[in-house]
């Protein structure tokens, strides 16, 4: 039996890539940290074709690596170099099947691009509030499989909070059809949550029903300067106390990270005397927010919680501030090589963590530079370290992760585990939790063909 010929008979010639050049974009991850050699890249058009591919792979013992927009930052969608892993690309399953204005739901194929889904919701005065700098490439299936976070989590939660229903193909080819657009459904175990954040290791997500929210056309954006990280978190507490859920974004940025981004954009670095900056945004369906947010900021300046502020007075100014925020990662890439730590700790302990980590790195790894930014309203920091030489970072990541664990935090707040952090997950997770994950993996995928070695350490699976 020839699996390639059988794959062509399922997806057609146009749906199968075997040429090395054509497969190149699927053979590396977004950052270029992981490289592999796929057996082939199959792009099915329907759920039935996905099921047929999965059954074929079971028969031949071929591992499947699901791939969405391939913007993942943990190497989960990149095959290994065995030449025996099939990349299953959901690109062609991109239909928007339904948008329901009254129920505020959208039903779409897993391959639909996040930005396309957002635009479809906006046409009906609704919003899909999953917001990532990569949203022009991210697919809905990838966003769900990674339980994506982003800049709207403070108010709307992570991708999981959007998922009302899923259609999933299991490892034996069974199709679970749970495409129900229900807010309330307590009929039995709520199995869809097992697949959210499972990074392709438990099943292939082929379609989803997502909960939308009313649009918030009125916004007020401000860049706030703080004397310390502690003050910034105090500012968050006061702004939420005054404006409640209208605060949709609270993006903390360390001075050095902002300076690098401003240099990349060729602009002056804003609020140059402030060691910590926050890009804060409040949104509402009501125009009053446009006055309430500046009023709240002025009150906090008077109380010396906010040291300085730049209030955007136009949409263009707000966009420029967001451009600065969204350039932080690119500016980091220009500054050298970087070690990324996507960590979270309880918000009340975030400032103490930042201070202790900085002292620890300064003492033990003096040749590196810190590049700290993140969704601090969620307790999530991208605690990144820029370095030039491998010898300068020996043991650094393990030390950061140990410290995070000591603060009852997480070594992956939103990017997932993939291949990148699987050893650290294994090292730092309670054995009872690891054993439970391995049991669940065996239950869903007894022969281990779905994204092996990702998320769940191979030794425990």
Ligand X SMILES: Cc1cc2nc3c(=O)[nH]c(=O)nc-3n(C[C@H](O)[C@H](O)[C@H](O)COP(=O)(O)OP(=O)(O)OC[C@H]3O[C@@H](n4cnc5c(N)ncnc54)[C@H](O)[C@@H]3O)c2cc1C
**Which residues of this protein are in contact with ligand X, per CB under 6 A?**
30, 65-73, 76-77, 90, 110, 132-134, 138-139, 141-143, 145-146, 148-150, 199-200, 204-205, 329, 414-415, 418, 451, 454
- How many angstroms separate the CA atoms of 46 and 109, rounded? 9
CB of 2 to ligand X, least distance (A): 25
Nearer Cβ to ligand X (65/282) = 65
Rounded CA-CA distance 449/239 in Å is 48
Q: Which residues, including other chains, have CB under 8 Å from residue 49's CB and lie 6 or more apart?
A: 10, 11, 15
Q: Which is nearer to ligand X, 139 or 371 (CB)?
A: 139
Q: Which is nearer to ligand X, 351 or 417 (CB)?
A: 417
d(CA 204, CA 87): 12
Task: Give one word for 200, left, alpha or beta, with left for phi > 0 and alpha for psi -120 to 50.
Answer: left
Which one, 87 or 300, has the nearer CB to ligand X?
87
Least distance from C-beta 228 to ligand X, angstroms?
25
Q: How far is the CB of 411 from ligand X (least distance, A)?
A: 14
Which residue spans within 231-292 are E strands per DSSP?
247-254, 276-284
State which residue, 140 or 289, has the beta carbon closest to ligand X: 140
Residue at shortest CB range from ligand X: 142
CA distances from 125 to 128, 247, 339, 359 (A): 10, 20, 41, 48
* Minimum distance from residue 133 beta carbon to ligand X (Å): 4
**For 236, what's the count of Cα atoms within 13 Å in the CB-facing half-sphere?**
24
Contact 237, 379 (CB under 8 A): no
Is residue 138 a contact partner of residue 113, using CB atoms and an 8 Å limit?
yes
Complex with ligand X: residue 297 or 411, whichever CB lies closer: 411
Instruction: State the DSSP code for 193.
Output: H
Compute how many other C-beta atoms are within 10 angstroms of the C-beta atom of residue 172: 14
Q: Specify whether the backbone of 424 is left (phi greater than 0), alpha (psi in -120 to 50) or beta.
A: alpha
Q: How far is the CB of 376 from ligand X (least distance, A)?
A: 13
Nearer to ligand X (CB atom), residue 117 or residue 329: 329
Q: Give min distance, CB of 89 to ligand X, in A.
A: 9
Query: What minimum distance in Å lies between the beta carbon of 56 and ligand X?
Result: 17
């Amino acid at each position: 039996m020839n699996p390639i010929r059988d794959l062509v008979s399922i997806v057609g010639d146009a749906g199968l890539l075997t040429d090395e050049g054509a497969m190149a974009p699927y053979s590396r991850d977004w950052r270029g940290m992981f490289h592999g050699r796929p057996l082939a890249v199959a792009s099915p058009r329907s759920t039935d074709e996905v099921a047929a591919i999965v059954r074929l792979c079971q028969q031949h013992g071929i591992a499947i690596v699901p791939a969405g927009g391939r913007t993942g930052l943990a190497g989960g969608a990149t095959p290994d170099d065995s030449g025996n892993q099939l990349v299953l690309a959901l690109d062609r399953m991109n239909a928007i099947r339904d948008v329901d204005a009254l129920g505020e739901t959208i039903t779409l194929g897993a391959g639909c691009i996040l930005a396309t889904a957002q635009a479809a919701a906006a046409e009906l005065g609704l919003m899909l509030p999953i917001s990532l700098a990569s949203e022009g490439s991210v697919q809905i299936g990838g966003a769900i499989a990674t339980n994506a976070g982003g800049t709207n989590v403070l108010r709307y939660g992570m991708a999981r909070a959007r998922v009302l229903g899923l259609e999933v193909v299991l490892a034996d080819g069974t199709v679970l059809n749970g495409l129900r657009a229900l807010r309330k459904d307590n009929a039995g175990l709520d199995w869809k949550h097992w697949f959210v954040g499972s990074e392709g290791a438990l099943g292939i997500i082929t379609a989803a029903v997502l909960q939308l929210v009313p649009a918030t056309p009125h916004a007020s954006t401000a860049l706030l300067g703080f004397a310390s990280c502690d003050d910034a978190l105090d500012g968050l507490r006061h702004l939420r106390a005054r404006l409640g859920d209208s605060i949709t974004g609270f993006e903390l940025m360390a001075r050095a990270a902002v300076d690098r981004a401003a240099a990349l954009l060729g602009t002056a670095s804003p609020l140059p005397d402030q060691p910590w900056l926050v890009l804060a945004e409040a949104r509402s369906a009501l125009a009053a927010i446009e006055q309430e947010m500046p009023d709240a900021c002025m009150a906090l300046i008077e109380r010396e919680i906010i040291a300085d502020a730049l209030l955007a007075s136009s949409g263009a100014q707000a966009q420029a501030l967001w451009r600065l925020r969204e350039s932080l990662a690119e500016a980091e890439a220009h500054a050298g090589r970087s070690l990324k730590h996507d960590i979270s700790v309880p918000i009340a302990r975030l400032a103490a963590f930042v201070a202790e980590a900085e002292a620890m790195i300064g003492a033990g790894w003096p040749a590196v530079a810190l590049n700290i930014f993140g969704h601090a309203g969620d307790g999530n920091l991208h605690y990144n370290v820029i370095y030039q030489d491998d010898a300068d970072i020996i043991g650094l990541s393990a030390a950061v992760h140990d410290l995070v664990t000591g603060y009852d935090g997480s070594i992956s707040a939103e990017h997932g585990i993939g291949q990148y952090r699987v050893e650290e997950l294994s090292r730092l997770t309670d054995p009872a939790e690891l054993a439970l994950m391995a049991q669940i993996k065996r239950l869903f995928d007894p022969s281990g063909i779905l994204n092996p070695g990702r998320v769940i350490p191979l030794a425990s699976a």
